[in-house]
Structure 1
Amino acid sequence: MTRRIAFLGLLLVAIGGTAVAAESRQPNIVILMVDDLGWNHISASQPTMGTYPEYCRTPHIAKLANDGLSFTHAYAQPNCAPTRAAMLSGQYPARPSNDVYVVGNLNRFGRGGIRKGEAHFRGPEQSEDVAPEAITLAEAMQRNGYATAHIGKYHVGGHRGQQTMPENAGFDINIGGHSQGHQPVCFASEKDGTWQFRNLGLGHFDRFAAPYDADYVRRRGLPESLIGTSKHVSDAVGDAMEETIRTLASGEKPFYLQFHTYAVHGPVRARPDLKEAANASSKKLTEYAGFIAGVDENVGRLRSVLDDPNGDGDSSDSITGSTLILFTSDNGGTHDSNAPLKGVKGMFTEGGIRVPLIACWPGVVPPGTVTDRKVHSVDYYPTCLELAGGEWTPTEEKHPLDGESFASALKQPESAEKRGPVFYLFPGYLDKRARPCVVVIDDIEGKRYKQTYDYETDAWELYCLSDDQGEQQNLIDTERTIAATLSKKIHAWLTQQHPSWQPKYPLETSSGQPAGPPPVLAATRAESR
């Protein structure tokens, strides 16, 4: 009798506690990061605030948003490598274990910007890789009992040799990740009897490069017109993703997977059927729309393999309920306007740094919800650690984290604490798109403000994003109290005391000395005299 009662109790717990079980165990975490996808270049109303252009058709991403939580104010760094470094390290570039401020170097003059001889400053030296001594997010997840994998673009390892490659930075599986910043080709080609994606990384995707055959087309439900044609890189990346998840799902550990697509970085070339189905106003946008559609297909493929990891058509082995998907981009869009946001990739205006973010975890994340909580790339590290149980966390002395966890916002978006200020320090030049500046985004008295200091002009700009997300009306002369408050927050952030806090400032061309933090503003013009 006692055994029957105990069994009945366990059965009731199993029936009634599914969501609790999904939430309490260590979830699998998949971060699907698209390259160069604009904030509103997806046909999902919630994360784009209903502003997406008509040519964007992404039904799988729209369903992800309907099934999950959309963040309308997620922020990244203004271009590829610094975002990936911030995510992997959980740190702003001012930490030596990150030290990645921009792709390449901080003296990228020309192309319509300030000429080198005209600039008042020059950019300091920086790194292109997350430092070997950093405790990466992948390493931290391993210490919390996770299997780890990276697929696709990495960009912040390999410049300094093997020591900074993904397999030496905490990833058990690495397919594609090294120093390369983009795909040189979008289609495979034949050479000496073998098919390959020429000059793409270390050749990891060549085993998926064979032309589409009848079995592949049938299995995926693709048009028969593709049979015998060259494989598209997005499909090869999706093939690698499916293979990897099947491997990880068959193991005993929860897993952390970075699924970082090469799309939609240029060259922008879509699979023929996706391009043909696109409805855009120009040849350029038709290619772009088709390229985005390929990303959307991979979102669908990801959800399908999570629902049926062994691919036998039976979802009894589904891991969907124990997996969190985070869908985002590494910076603002560059192939089309990001309107109503101002600017493009590389700029510190909203169009350069605001990105889509959708979180989906059935049974835990409330479906169809929206939050305007700020999120920055440095927040993924502490969020993943909290969701993993946080049994192991890097110490403040060894590897301090600059981000704030948004784990509570995933589960209770309405009651979660608001995030503190988001900061940017950029001490160099990126052609016409960026020059030395400091930026803060913060909420004051129920409204969201963004303030920027430009070193070249020694001038401030202030915008109320709540009323003016297009950054059209500079309030620096009319909202002096708010401007003064935000300038103090910038100063406090830049001058914080920690051995590993070493912000790099633009160097004055005349003296070679660092410019230092911007001046603190007075609350009134009279006080500043």
Structure 2
Amino acid sequence: MKRFSLFIALALLVVVQQTATAQQRPNFLVIQCDDLGYGDLECYGHPAIKTPNLNRLASQGVRFTSCYSAAPVCSPSRAGLVTGQTPTQVGIYDWIPGGSPMHVQASEITVAKLLKEAGYHTGLFGKWHCNGMFNSPQQPQPGDLGFEYWFATQNNASPSHEKPVNFVRNGEKVGPTSDFSCQVVAGEAGHWLEEIQDDGKPFFALVTFHEPHEPIASPDDLVKTYPDADKKGEALYYANVTNMDRAVGRLMQTIDKLGLADDTLVLFTSDNGPETLNRYPNAWRSHGSPGPLRGMKLHIYEGGIRVPGIARFPGKLEAGTESDVPVCSLDILPTFCELAGAEIPAGAKLDGTSLVGLMRGEPIERAKPLFWHYYRAFHNAKVAVRDGDWKLVALWDQGEVKPGAAYHKGDYSKIKDAKFTAFELYNLTEDIGETKDVSADHPEIVGRLKKALLEKYDEATANAPDWFAEAK
């Protein structure tokens, strides 16, 4: 594949945005998987999993090699995507169990709200996981955060991916379904796309597949295509990713059939790195791969946050190319809003950066480095920043906090009072696997990035809510 600066190749989009009428502005389709690892796709080097539709999508557009999620775990990652803010800043510290007081508040700006206000149709299809009291007036629901139409679950597809029964459509329970979750979601999104086509408005659709998160279930015909997968649950996992790939193919066929391909920017990505096999008993089917990266889901190292990323926009993005420019799901809100002509409120504390400047051949001008925080990350590495080639990882003084247990009483003080006692520095261009800490060799870089990291940490935690205090 040819390498190039991705967003330079997007230069024609600026002309489109500056001259288009409301009806001609770009459509946006974001497809997000759940626990899909950096190395889980055929076009990212997986030796066994077949993903022909995503291979085709990559051949039609751009494959990111430094694409990041907002966090190494589901709810914070999703909150970051929809708000454009570091998840800690909006109070989403960990995954959200059912009944939890934690939620994205109605006062937050979201990409769906801003695009809706600018005249876009907005729809959500799949996993929501941005509140604990799902489909309840006690907390904001997708419709309160800008999605005019929503077909979603609170967290996982239940009882598994096969024939889930827990979808809700615009506040009404759907009941039993008759297919695998990704196909149910793709079918609903396709139906919505066909319905809105005659309206003349541009659209923003957020499609959030449950696959390949546990509890995994996969079609038998696909499981049988992996006879050489001899580890327990391995064929189920591989088939699960391939079934998701089929669902992506359905969506692309719908876009193409409706004549929307040339007017639609499609982004495909994942919410975090792959699940580990040894975290809990039901994870025996989780055979995801971080590829060459260190760590997996729940790690602040690259395997937890660097994810697949593919973009397609025929005629605007050069087909069959790749980019190593660091980009993040936090960038979606400011980038989409600029392309759509949607106004971002003055004083919004965004952590993402509009990438439209690069469409004019300019480098990304980030006011601050990319930043990640997850207080329950494995070991003591809890915070990181990336600036260009360099990544600084911060270790805290609060001791080990068990990963994956969700946010509990007493955790707030750990987050607010944390002190960082050691720092690791990696050159990701030379050492993608983060195998060599070079902090001793570059004290000036450590000092600069440490200052930026601590300043952002203080900013992110300054007004972060204590959910259990507020629930009293």
Query: Could you state the TM-score of these two structures normalised by the residue count of structure 1?
Result: 0.72
- Is 2:48 the partner of 1:55? yes
Aligned positions, number:
410
- The structural deviation recorded for 1:327 is 0.3
* 2-structure distance, mates of 1:320, 1:208: 32
Q: 1:184 aligns with which of 156, 159, 167?
A: 159
Structure 2 CA distance for aligned equivalents of residues 416 and 302 of structure 1 = 32
What secondary structure sits across from 1:235 in the alignment?
helix
Q: Residue 151 of structure 1: which of 106, 117, 125 is its match?
A: 125
Report the identity percentage: 29
CA contact (8 A) 2:65 2:323 kept: yes
CA contact (8 A) 1:341 1:470 kept: yes
Q: Which runs of 5+ in 2 are unaligned?
A: 1-11, 276-285, 400-420, 467-472
CA displacement at 1:380 relative to structure 2:
0.9
Residue 419 (structure 2) pairs with residue 425 (structure 1): no
Correspondent of 1:198 among 153, 165, 171: 165
In 2, Cα distance between equivalents of 1:133 and 1:452:
32
Write the mapping of 1:332-351 to structure 2, written as runs, cut at 5 A: 332-334=273-275, 335=286, 336-351=288-303
Partner of 2:72: 78
Equivalent in the alignment of 1:265: 213
> Counterpart in 1 of 2:395?
454
Change (3 A) 1:402 1:21: closer
**Equivalent residue for 1:491?**
454
Determine if the alignment matches structure 1 residue 88 to structure 2 residue 35. no
Deviations 1:118-170 (A, max 9, x none): xxxxxxxx963111111221110111110100000010035274341111211
- Return the alpha-carbon distance in structure 2 between the equivalents of residues 379 and 127 of structure 1: 27
| Alpha carbons of structure 1 residues 344 and 183: separation in structure 2 relative to 1, 3 Å | farther
CA contact (8 A) 1:185 1:198 kept: no
**Map of 1:234 onto structure 2:** 182
Report how far residue 401 of structure 1 moved.
1.6
**Aligned equivalents of 1:265 and 1:407: distance in 2?**
33
| CA displacement at 1:206 relative to structure 2 | 4.8
Task: Return the letter of the residue paired with 2:245.
Answer: D
Amino acid at match of 1:326: L
Q: Aligned in 2, Cα 1:101/1:158: closer, same or farther, shift over 3 Å?
A: closer
Deviations 1:48-86 (A, max 9, x none): 3xxx22112111101111111222111111110001101
C-alpha distance in 2 between matches for 1:159 and 1:343: 31
Question: For residue 133 of structure 1, what is the amino acid of its counterpart?
Answer: S
- Residue 6 of structure 1 is matched in structure 2 by none
TM-score (norm 2): 0.80
What is the rounded CA distance, in whole Å, between the counterparts of 2:82 and 2:318 in structure 1? 27
TM-aligned CA deviation for residue 300 of structure 1: 0.9
Shift of 1:505: 12
Q: Which has the larger radius of gyration?
A: 1
Q: Distance in 2 between matches of 1:18 and 1:441?
A: 27
Superposed counterparts of 1:165-180, under 5 Å: 165-177=141-153, 179-180=154-155
Amino acid of the structure 2 residue aligned with 1:306: I
Contact 1:99–1:127 at 8 Å: present in 2 too?
no
Q: Cα distance 1:493–1:206, how it changes in 2: closer, same or farther (>3 A)?
A: closer
Out of 296, 308, 322, the residue aligned to residue 245 of structure 2 is 296
Q: For residues 8-157 of structure 1, what are the structure 2 equivalents within 5 Å? A: 24=20, 25-44=24-43, 48=44, 52-76=45-69, 77-95=71-89, 98-104=90-96, 128-157=102-131
Q: How many Å separate the matches in 2 of 1:394 and 1:408?
A: 20
Select which of 185, 194, 200 maps to 1:252.
200
Q: What is the RMSD of the two structures over their aligned residues, measured on CA atoms?
A: 2.8
Distance 1:94 1:417 in 2: 24
Return closer, same or farther for 1:299/1:104 CA change in 2, 3 Å cut-off: closer
Gaps of 5+ in 1: 1-16, 106-125, 189-196, 211-230, 310-317, 507-529
Equivalent position of 1:221 in the other structure: none
**Matched residues in 2 for 1:238 and 1:494: separation?**
38
d(CA) in 2 for partners of 1:403, 1:209:
37
Q: Who is 1:502 aligned against?
A: 462
- Cα deviation digits, residues 174-205 of structure 1 (max 9, x gap): 1114x3245432222xxxxxxxx334557978
Q: What's the offset of the Cα at 1:474? A: 1.2
Residue 381 of structure 2 contacts residue 395 of structure 2 at CA under 8 Å; is this kept in 1?
A: yes
The counterpart of 1:393, out of the listed 336, 344, 360, is 344
Map of 1:438 onto structure 2: 383
Note closer, same or farther for the CA distance 1:338–1:240 as it changes in structure 2 (3 Å cut).
same
Match of 1:164, as an amino acid?
Answer: P
- Identify the residue that residue 315 of structure 2 maps to in structure 1: 363
Looking at both structures, which has the greater relative contact order when contacts are Cα pairs under 8 Å and sequence separation is at least 6? 2
Do 2:292 and 2:432's aligned partners in 1 also have CA atoms closer than 8 Å? yes
Deviations 1:430-479 (CA, angstroms, capped at 9, x unpaired): 5xx25473211112xxxx11111111372211111111111111112222
**CA pair 485-384 structure 1, distance change in 2 beyond 3 A:** same
